[in-house]
Amino acid sequence: MSEKEIQDQNIRVVGLSGSLRDGSYSRKAVEIAINGATELGAETQMLDLRDYNLPFCSGTRNVDSQIPDVRKIRSEVEAADGIIVGTPEYHGSFSGVLKNALDLMGFEEFEGKMMGLVSVSGGRMGGLDALNSLRAIGRTLHAWVIPEQVSIPEVHNAFKNDGSLKNAKIQARLVNVGRQVARFAYLHTARQTNEFLQEWEEAPPNPGAKNR
């Protein structure tokens, strides 16, 4: 699909960074991925958890919804067609602040959305455990988690001063995460695609298939 098709479809992709640290590497990584969606014509927005005063999840959606910033982040994610989630890996999992933000949301915000995953780690093994945990959460929330994901090991040595990555291959993979989220979000919402799926579902069975 072309950039114009994605623009005409009003595809919206948000980035969610699970770090509160100044100069967050997770945020930098998500921003690069978001740029991939922007280049394809999607409307994009970074959601920085430092900008929200989120309480600990009470486990009661109606109670939590009384908090203005909870309503705000829910509405911003719900309005998106695609979500790129980034996190540092802490103790073999993703960050607590991200877990709390996700706990404050649910099916209303994530179901049917395209989801891309990015992680960073201070160690050599990267943030694969964090990615696996987030992938499980995405499936639980009925999001479509794209196959492409990026883990950046030894992240303290990974970035240049201009915010780009020293490793051009990892940079390209991050951009591709954003591109894939935008592309699949377009296909998921495109009228032509939905019409094709409906026609395919309503098509009569192939009588010759029984003889195979």
Average pLDDT in the chain? 90
What's the domain range around 11?
Answer: 3-211
What is the edge-to-edge ordering of all strands in the sheet holding 82-88? 43-48, 12-17, 82-88, 114-120, 144-152
pLDDT above 70 for 90: yes
Please classify residue 130 by burial: count the beta carbons closer than 10 Å to its beta carbon, then call 0-12 exposed, 13-18 middle and 19+ buried. buried
Q: What percent of the chain has pLDDT over 70?
A: 86
Measured between alpha carbons, how far is 95 from 49 in angstroms, rounded to an integer? 12
Type of residue numbered 133? S
pLDDT at site 29: 97
Task: Please tell me the total count of domains within the chain.
Answer: 1
86: domain CATH number is 3.40.50.360
pLDDT above 70 for 208: no
Q: What is the pTM of this model?
A: 0.87
Q: How confident is the model at residue 19 (pLDDT cuts 50, 70, 90)?
A: very high
pLDDT digit string, tens, across residues 47-72? 999 999 999 999 999 999 999 999 99
